Amino acid sequence: MSELVLIVVAIFLMIGAITGETYLLVLGYLIAGAYLLARWWPGHSLKNLSARRDFPDHVFPDEVIPVQITIKNHSILPVVWLAIRDLHPIDLSDVHTFKQVITLSPKKTLHLKYFLKANHRGYFPIGPMTLETSDLFGWTNPIHSGIPASFLTVYPTVIPLRNPFLPSNSPIGLLAHTQPLYEDPNRVVGKRDYQQGDPLRKVDWKATAAQQKIQVKTYEPSTDLETVVFLNLDTEAYHPRSRFDGPELAIVTAASIAAWSVKKRQAVGLITNGLDILNQTGQIRPIAPRKGKQHLMRLLELLARVKTLSSPDLDLNQMINHYRQELGWGTTLFVLTGAVDESLIHELRVTQRMGLKPIIILCGWFVELKVPIQNGLAFEIPVRILNTEEDLKAW
Amino acid sequence: MNPVKSSQFSDLSFQALPLAQRFINICLLFLLGLGFAGALNRIFPQTHFQHIPWLMVGIALVTLFTQTRTREMDTSEKNAFRISEGITYLVVLKAISMIISGQTDLVEIFHLWRLHFLETLFDLPYITSLLPGMIAWGYTLIYSDLFDEFEDRRKDFRWDELGKVQNSLKSIRSKMVGGNVALLIFLVFLLAFANTPIDIPNVLSLPLTAKASAAIVILFTAFLLIQLAITQLSLLRTYWEHDRSQIDVSINRKWLIYSLIVMATAGVISFLLPTEYSRQFFTLFLWFSSILFSFFSLFLYLLSYPFLLLFHFLFSQDESPPTLPGLPSTQPPVTPEPGSMPLWFEIVKTIILWGIILGIVFLAGRRFFSTTSALLPRANRNFLFQKIRDFFKSLINLFFGVKNLIQEQITQLKLQITPPRLSAKPSFRALRSRHAHNAREKILNLYCDLVDFAGDHGLQRAASQTPYQYHSLLSSALPSLSSEIMDITEIFVEARYSLHTLDESTASRIASETLLVKKAIKHNAEESAD
């Protein structure tokens, strides 16, 4: 088409020049002018456009995410038409792309808004956004520009645990304990008369002087619950009919345990064999137990991104075997998986003998018990089955 | 924040686009009318033609109105209406031309018509009104149909493939633009005629007239380009709506405004650019052409020089005065002069000469084609080369098209002279392929053979019979082979009407079954004959 226009222009100019007919020359100029303007305009428009996409990049599930697109025309010429296409995953919206065709006046800024919904946890690309324009007459092919994708992190659901029984062998901490073995000298709850066998360091000398009778301090027992979550994201470890819901429930459980621990001002760590989208080349490095909300957000971010793997580098047993040496004495181990077998019981038994406190939590609507639960309980390894999030809420 | 008002589908402003296109067409007709008036004024300066542009606009408006009323009619009704409309226009145009030329005395007019009907009916004012009027009528009809077709096709995007819709829209758009470009060229010719000074001594002398031509042409082109812009918007909107994009409602209005801005800018630039260098350019062009021609002559001379020398050397003695054809030669018979070469020498000399010439031509040709074989792909990329090639291709296609058309006409004429005999044996011959390359074609051929064979033996298939109906006929004749006949029928139907893959084993099974059936038919036929 464009070549045809050029030929027509050349013919008009040639005949006009030869015959001296002014109107033919003017006609040639007019078509040539319109043609050149039409060719130059879209490129100029696109060069003078700036686009920006703004949205909250970390959200919790079920939150509505407003995405605002700002398009600014810096040129003194208008943009005849501009087709904006912003891609986003189908998990976040009913439609796959935000599409709008606009026209922009000179030096004008336009704000477009659309909404996404964080239906479930994940690490989602928003974009890339393409801007497409062309000329008025269809003489040029559409030209494109755009901005790259930004990423949205949707944290996993955090379910507040009611009263989880989390045993620990680690004495003297922040959590109250029923066993008098774990008396905390910082938690004086009262005084009583001296009895034979009471250590001298428990004697409260001021009270003894006041009472003229030997008084000893009584302490509240407490434990320090340092926990590490072993999250098994090997799909083979889950029942075939629970390969989606099982790992997801395990992730939600891990997030809930971590949140509960941080709320109770306890240290919590995470070791998983899943796949981090940002680190696809290797396995995820373990997160050592730490306290504080900042640490919790770090854990939740990882749990938002993490994905299941089929036959990862380390299976659950290898993972426990590999990392238990590095854990402190008395640490509580949460083993989140979809199946329990003899080898896992054996590994946890070894772990238990090293002074750690393992708990097995089986996640998924269908769980695989290749050995009876009693086998674990016989070695005082608690086994808990969570079929749905409702079970977690009741925990 | 400025939220964009958007619509997912058509809106009122978009409905206005076809109206805008029709308005533009009326403007184009008005400008064409101005061109007509200018050209006619050159030839008949005493006659008034100012009414022609308005006449064209009026006819176009009336035609547009009638077009909307006749849209729902069927073809025959529409044709009848068009004939009546044409006659009405003829009468109205005559009336208008009479009023404009001051012929208001009807009694005198009827008297004149009685004496010299044709001369007085088709007078100058009438003919000069008739031509533009008919052009306006035809143009409006054609373009209204094109606009309707464009709109109808545009709506098809909801259920048809987008590619197909867009291709057909582009095709309609090309027709619209092509027609208007042709009209522009016609207008340019009209204006050239209206402006060019013509001076043929003692025959015709037309001096230069005042120029409004540039403005007319520029306006025409501007409207043409705006129409191009509107159709482009329609094309794009089809794509956007198919893509379910939200569309800014102001886009149609702004599109029109921006088109006008582009046109105005280009128009201003056009008027500002110089136009007074035509003579120098023309002189330069002639000078350049003469140089090119000289080079070409020199090249030809250098190429032919060896041949000329050789020719001169070999044939210089054979020059004889030419004789007039049809007259007996007055010269005495040629006798070999003493010392001249014998006949065999002449033959050898001719062979050598032609051998050398053909050898040189062969070597040159070989060299040329070996070189051009490498150049051709490069030349293929050249735009001008492609256009020339396409031109010749279309010329050849045109010739072939004309040839085919003539052949078709001749065939039809032959058919009219000798009416075709109705076949007594309707068959599936059209399905039969000369060479069966695959199982499907083999099955079709086998079935056709069977139908023909059965037809020859008294089991003729009626033209209206379906394969299953024919199966019933055959089965009733051959009840023992009804399962085979059913199988043949079913496989034929599958081969004919489905895209299923058929293997060779099925074809061979059908072959054996048809053989069986044919034998049975033959046997039955022989028995009945006995």
Residue A21 contacts B, CB cutoff 8 Å: yes
CB atoms within 10 A of CB A360: 22
Residue A75 contacts B, CB cutoff 8 Å: no
Phi, psi of A124 (to 5 degrees): -115, 135
Rounded to whole angstroms, the Cα distance separating A202 from A156 reads: 47
Interface-testing mutation among A13, A26, A72, with chain B (most B C-beta atoms within 10 A): A26
Closest CA to A96 of A126, A72, A118, A74: A126
Instruction: Decide if pLDDT at A123 tops 60.
Output: yes
| pLDDT given at position A166 | 63
Return the residue of B nearest to A23 by Cα: B214
Confidence of residue A157 (pLDDT cuts 50, 70, 90): very high
Rounded to whole angstroms, the Cα distance separating B151 from B164 reads: 15
Within B198-328, residue ranges assigned H as helices are: 213-242, 251-272, 278-315
Are the beta carbons of B229 and A137 separated by less than 8 Å?
A: yes
Task: ipTM value, please give it.
Answer: 0.72
Nearest by CB to B245, from A27, A83, A111: name it. A83
Residue A143 contacts B, CB cutoff 8 Å: no
Residue B251 contacts A, CB cutoff 8 Å: yes
CB atoms within 10 A of CB A77: 18
Residue B248 has which token pair? Answer: 């800014």
DSSP secondary-structure letter at B429? G
Are the beta carbons of A137 and B232 separated by less than 8 Å?
A: yes
Nearest CA-CA distance, residue A102 and chain B, Å: 5
Residue B456 has which token pair? Answer: 């020859």
Return the residue of B nearest to A26 by Cα: B270
Are the beta carbons of B266 and A34 separated by less than 8 Å?
A: yes
**Topology of the domain comprising A227-394:** Rossmann fold (3.40.50)
Confidence of residue A2 (pLDDT cuts 50, 70, 90): low
Going residue by residue through chain B (530 aa), what tens digit of pLDDT does each one get? 444 444 444 454 556 778 888 899 999 999 999 888 888 887 787 777 888 889 999 999 988 888 877 877 788 888 888 888 888 888 888 888 888 877 777 777 777 777 777 777 788 888 888 899 999 999 999 998 898 888 888 888 777 788 888 888 889 988 898 898 888 888 888 887 777 655 555 655 555 555 577 778 888 888 888 888 888 888 888 888 888 888 888 888 888 888 888 888 877 777 777 766 545 555 666 677 777 777 777 777 777 777 777 776 666 554 444 444 444 444 444 444 444 556 666 667 667 766 776 777 777 677 666 655 655 566 666 666 777 777 777 777 777 777 777 777 777 766 666 554 444 444 455 566 666 678 888 888 889 888 888 888 888 888 788 888 888 888 888 888 888 899 999 999 988 888 888 888 888 889 889 988 988 888 888 887 76
Q: H/E/C letters for each residue in B450-515? A: HHHHHHHCCCCCCCCCCHHHHHHHHHHHCHHHHHHHHHHHHHHHHHHHCCCCCCHHHHHHHHHHHH
Return the residue of B nearest to A22 by Cα: B275
Q: Look up the CATH superfamily of A48-154.
A: Immunoglobulins (2.60.40.10)
| pLDDT given at position A229 | 94
Question: Which CA distances in Å does A41 have to A34, A45, A382?
Answer: 10, 6, 72
Nearest CA-CA distance, residue B266 and chain A, Å: 5
Beta bridge pairs of residue A270 = A229, A287
Nearest by CB to B218, from A27, A37, A38: name it. A27
Residue B410 has which token pair? Answer: 């001749």
Peptide bond into A358 cis (omega under 30): no
Instruction: Decide if pLDDT at A242 tops 70.
Output: yes
Confidence of residue A22 (pLDDT cuts 50, 70, 90): confident
Q: What is the mean pLDDT of chain A?
A: 85
Question: What DSSP line would sit under A156-188, residue for residue?
Answer: PP-PPPSS-------EEEEEE-S-GGGEEEEEE
Name the residue ranges covered by the structural domains of chain A.
Answer: 2-46, 48-154, 177-221, 227-394
Instruction: Decide if pLDDT at A333 tops 80.
Output: yes
CB A272 within 8 A of CB A125: no
Are the beta carbons of B245 and A100 separated by less than 8 Å?
A: yes
**Which SS3 state, helix, strand or coil, does residue B112 take?**
helix
Using an 8 Å CB-CB cutoff, list chain A residues near B229. Answer: 136-137
> Which residues, including other chains, have CB under 8 Å from residue B378's CB and lie 6 or more apart?
none
| pLDDT given at position B428 | 54
Residue B182 contacts A, CB cutoff 8 Å: no
pTM for the model: 0.61
Are the beta carbons of B228 and A138 separated by less than 8 Å?
A: yes
Are the beta carbons of A103 and B282 separated by less than 8 Å?
A: no
DSSP secondary-structure letter at A23? H
CB A70 within 8 A of CB A52: yes
| pLDDT given at position B9 | 42
| pLDDT given at position B278 | 47
Return the residue of B nearest to A80 by Cα: B255
Rounded to whole angstroms, the Cα distance separating A19 from B322 reads: 47
Question: What DSSP line would sit under A339-394, residue for residue?
Answer: EE-HHHHHHHHHHHHTT-EEEEEEESSS-EESS-HHHHHHTT--EEEE-SHHHHHH
Q: Which of A4-13, A220-229, B75-84, B440-449 has the lowest mean pLDDT?
A: A220-229
**Which SS3 state, helix, strand or coil, does residue A229 take?**
strand
Rounded to whole angstroms, the Cα distance separating A395 from A132 reads: 54
Question: Which CA distances in Å does B113 have to B119, B123, B131?
Answer: 8, 11, 21
Using an 8 Å CB-CB cutoff, list chain B residues near A112. Answer: 3-4
Using an 8 Å CB-CB cutoff, list chain B residues near A134. Answer: 236
Q: What is the pLDDT of residues A207-217, one digit of tens each?
A: 899 988 899 88
Interface-testing mutation among B11, B183, B219, B221, with chain A (most A C-beta atoms within 10 A): B221
Q: Which of A143-157, A234-248, B194-208 has the lowest mean pLDDT?
A: B194-208
CB A306 within 8 A of CB A123: no
Q: What is the pLDDT of residues B177-189, one digit of tens each?
A: 889 888 888 888 8
Q: What is the pLDDT of residues B454-469, one digit of tens each?
A: 888 888 888 788 888 8
Residue B288 has which token pair? Answer: 């350049």
Nearest CA-CA distance, residue B143 and chain A, Å: 19
Rounded to whole angstroms, the Cα distance separating B223 from B27 reads: 8
Q: What is the pLDDT of residues A373-394, one digit of tens each?
A: 666 666 678 888 899 888 888 8
CB B60 within 8 A of CB B29: yes
Residue A175 contacts B, CB cutoff 8 Å: no
CB A157 within 8 A of CB A255: yes
| Type of residue at B362 | F
| pLDDT given at position A122 | 92
Within A48-196, residue ranges assigned H as helices are: none
Mean pLDDT of A67-92: 91
Closest CA to B521 of A7, B276, A224, B513: B513
Q: Identify the top-confidence range among A9-23, A102-116, B359-373.
A: A102-116
> Which residues, including other chains, have CB under 8 Å from residue B6's CB and lie 6 or more apart?
A100, A101, B246, B247, B248, B249
Rounded to whole angstroms, the Cα distance separating A40 from B521 reads: 79
Q: What is the pLDDT of residues A31-79, one digit of tens each?
A: 888 888 888 889 999 999 999 999 999 999 999 999 999 999 999 989 9
Are the beta carbons of A99 and B245 separated by less than 8 Å?
A: yes
Nearest CA-CA distance, residue A138 and chain B, Å: 6
